[in-house]
Structure 1
Amino acid sequence: DARDTLSKSRQRHRESRLAGIDSWQEDVALQSPGKRMSLISSTLRKRVVKRTAEAADEEKKNPECHTTAADSLNKRLQKLGMIMREMEGDGNCQFRAFADQLFGDQRHHATVRQSAVEHIRAHADFFGMCANH
């Protein structure tokens, strides 16, 4: 039964590729479910990045022909009375998002980042290898 499921999943994956559907999400799900991008093999990560860039380029050429993941997410968020906000992509985007939610302004990201660093240092035993002593 498990072999059957895996075989069907691989077949769908092959079919979607043959149909020209961007299937990088399937690649990630099939080969490394639940893993962060940093834990995925460099070969797969390069493929994911390449396909994402290709999809973005294609959407720029024909924006009316593509429903993006962002569009889909926006529709779901609207149903919940929520919105997606763009954060400056300077490497602090997660802290900017937290600052936006906590203070209503992403410009307070340094305060959030400093608080996170202090918390991790204060609880280094919990965070283990993630924290430099």
Structure 2
Amino acid sequence: EGVNFAYLTTPLRFVGDSDGNVTAVEMVQMELTEPDESGRRRPVPIEGSEYTIPATAVVVAVGYGADAEFAETAPVSANRWGLITVDDRTGQTNVPYIFAGGDVVNGADLVVTAIADGKRASTWLHQYLTQMGPKTE
């Protein structure tokens, strides 16, 4: 999808021009510490590893979760974990006109999985809608 991920890297600041447009992002490489008493390894900056990358736009992805309320209130089937159940091939739920994908189906997963689910579901939703024909009253 044209996205480059910089793992164990943290943005320090966004650089902008006089018009308020972003022009670059200052970054720093991180490394993991030894496990602490909880067993967790924490990221810390590597001294002298700062660098700048040019940018014309910034997408901040902060890891929001799926809308669990929809799965609880919509007339669709869910599994014991509260995830919406769908046909694996089409993304169609037990309600013929509702298609789902991404975190509401898989739980927390990669964005590319959600993108693939969305593309698949949109293909099958298009087929579903075009085969219905015009609605007449």
Short-chain TM bin: under 0.3
Task: State the structure with bigger RCO (CA 8 A, min sep 6), 1 or 2.
Answer: 2
Task: Write 1 or 2 for the structure with the bigger share of strand.
Answer: 2
Task: Write 1 or 2 for the structure with the bigger share of helix.
Answer: 1
Q: TM-score, normalised to structure 1's length?
A: 0.26
Q: Please tell me whether Structure 1 or Structure 2 has the larger radius of gyration of its CA atoms.
A: 2
